[in-house]
Amino acid sequence: MEEEEEEEEEEEEEEEEEEEEEEEEEEEEEEEEEEEEEEEGSISLFLPSSRRVAPFFDLFS
């Protein structure tokens, strides 16, 4: 019986590690996108971006 419990715990730990890795990958992708936006320069402030423009137009709806 103890062996079965240990196997279950190991499986749970592996699942948690996989979830953490996925979250880290998502964070890295977001950081890369932000860096790319910064590299474009100040012009990007004037370009429509779904993140920046959409909340502004929600005020008028």
pLDDT of 14 higher than 60: yes
Integer Cα distance of 46 and 20 in angstroms: 36
Q: Select the more confidently predicted residue: 39 or 17.
A: 17
Residues 6+ apart with CB under 8 A from 44: 37
pLDDT higher than 60, residue 52: no
Q: Give the residue-averaged pLDDT of 32-57.
A: 59
pLDDT above 60: residue 44: no
Q: Is the confidence at residue 10, as pLDDT, over 70?
A: yes
Three-state DSSP at 24 gives: helix
**Who wins on pLDDT, 60 or 47?**
60
Taking CA atoms, 56 is separated from 20, 45, 50, in Å, by 34, 14, 10
What's residue 4's pLDDT?
A: 66
